[in-house]
Every structure is written in C-alpha cells, then in structure tokens.
Amino acid sequence: MKKQFLFLLLLVVSYSYSQSVNDYKAVIIPVKYDFLKSENQYRLTTMTKFNLNKAGFVSFYASETMASEYNDRCSLLYIDVVKESGFLTTKLFITLKDCYGKIIFQSITGKSKEKEYQVAYTEALNEAFRSLYELKYKYNGSATAKVQTAIQPEVVKPMSAPVAVVANVVSESVVVNTVIADSNLLYAQPTATGFQLIDSTPKVIMKLLKTSQPNSFIAIKDTVQGSLILKDNQWYFEYYQNDKLISEKVAVKF
C-alpha cells in the first residue's frame, strides 16, 4: 500500500513538472558548476548536455551562439547541478530554473559510493537524470504563444533620439556613467555565493558575491572587480580606474 502511494505521488509530481518544463523550448548549460574548480571538470558539463539531449531537450552551452529563435531568454530553462554533502557518498541533483531564478523542476538525488571522482560524479549525475527522463519532455509551443500575445497589443511610440550612455564628470576623482536603456536590463540568477547577472542573449555580464550588507555586493565584471551598491533605489557598479572612482548605473532585475 505504501509503495503504491509513493508511486502515485511520483506520478502526480512528475505530471505537474511536465506541464511546466514543456513550456520551454531549450535549456542553457553553464560551463562550470559552483562546486567544481574548473570548466567541464570531470566532464560534468558534457554529460549534462548528453543527458538533456537524450531526454528530448534542445540544449546549449552558455558560451554558445544561438539562433535568433532562442533570443527570448524567458522561453529558456537554465540547468544547474548541485552537490549535497555526504559521508563517503557522492550526492548530486539537478534543477531547472526559469529566467527569474524560479525552480521549475528539481530531480531526485543521485548517489554513488565510488571512490574515484570521475566515476562517482558520472554515476550520481546519470541517476539524477532518471527523474527527468520520466517527464517525457516535449515542447508545446507555449513560450512562443505567450511572447506573441504579449507583443500584439503593445504600441511602440517613436523616440526623438536614440538612447545613449552619458558620462558626466562629477568631480576630479569621481566619474558617473548613467545607462538609460531597457535593452541593457540585466537579470539576476541565484548562485551558491550570490548572483550572476545575465543579459537577454543570455550572457553572463557580472558576478555578484554576497556581503554582510543586503544592499552591497562584491562585483566582478570581466577583469574588473568592484562593488554593486544600492543608492536611492538604483544600483551602481563602482570601481577604480587610473586612480579615479568610476560609478556606473546598472539596471538589474532581481
């Protein structure tokens, strides 16, 4: 009786998830997971793509250039592999999140007692993907329909001049760069240490590390490190360049 109940519960949960994942046309794979030291270590990124394709998903690495039909970042899912702590046991599970960081699907926890990392990670990841296979994913076109519905009633007003980046010198030591454009809006995706800010491509533009203050992050953009600070309900990326403090206004949606 207990086994029948658990089986029924699994079917209900799987059906509920399948109704969600089918709304998304592709999955984006990071080149590195937070618990690993290097890109594609133990070939986990490669194995993720293999398993996603095997489960019926279209998938892309975050570093790949995608066709224009995948430009709507909210029609995509973003996969992550998470490691759980375990004594003498390797435990991994996967999550699929939407463009706002909401978890759409979380797998069972795959386990392995193998001592060699390569073998253990492979075994645990493959076991975690079993629950994703059970969803029998098939894209239903909902993302495209939602985008078209949202676009049809929109009235675009002509602009008198193109939006640009304006640099204003506030003092000899501080420069403020103001960016005013919706196209520059960055979206915050949660990570183990904070957030990563991605654009509509999607491409990772900046990485944020949590501090003791909720309105202040250590910010890393390319090779530049500074701070992302909330001031007057606006976010600013501040860093030093040639002994001058640069403050750039950044549009972020958390």
Contact 231, 222 (CB under 8 A): no
The pLDDT of residue 183 is: 60
Length of the chain measured in residues = 254
Q: What would the two tokens of residue 69 be?
A: 């039909």
Beta bridge partners of residue 165, listed in sequence order: 179
Contact 114, 95 (CB under 8 A): no
Q: What is the chain's pLDDT, residue by residue, as a tens digit (254 residues)?
A: 545 544 444 444 444 444 489 999 999 999 899 999 999 999 999 999 999 999 999 999 988 888 888 988 899 999 999 999 888 899 999 999 998 889 999 999 999 999 999 999 999 999 999 999 999 999 988 754 444 444 444 444 444 444 444 444 444 445 555 443 456 788 888 887 888 888 877 788 999 998 888 889 999 998 889 999 998 889 999 998 888 899 999 998 88
The pLDDT of residue 15 is: 45
**Which CATH architecture describes the domain 15-145?**
3-Layer(aba) Sandwich (3.40)
Picking from 206, 211, 242, the residue whose alpha carbon sits closest to that of residue 223 is 206
Beta bridge partners of residue 164, listed in sequence order: none
Q: What is the pLDDT of residues 63-77, one digit of tens each?
A: 888 888 898 889 999
Q: What ranges in 40-169 are assigned the alpha helix state H?
A: 44-54, 117-133, 142-151
Q: What is the pLDDT of residues 31-66, one digit of tens each?
A: 899 999 999 999 999 999 999 999 999 999 988 888
Contacting residues for 95 by C-beta, under 8 A, at least 6 apart: 79, 80, 82, 103, 105, 106, 107
d(CA 99, CA 50): 22
d(CA 59, CA 137): 13
Q: How many CA atoms lie within 13 A of 169 on its CB side?
A: 4
CA angle 123, 106, 96 (to 5 degrees): 100
The pLDDT of residue 123 is: 95
The pLDDT of residue 184 is: 78
Would you kindly state where each structural domain of the chain is located, as residue ranges? 15-145, 163-253
The b/e string for 9-32 (b: 16+ C-beta within 10 A; e otherwise) is eeeeebeebbebbbbbbbbbbbee
Contact 94, 106 (CB under 8 A): yes
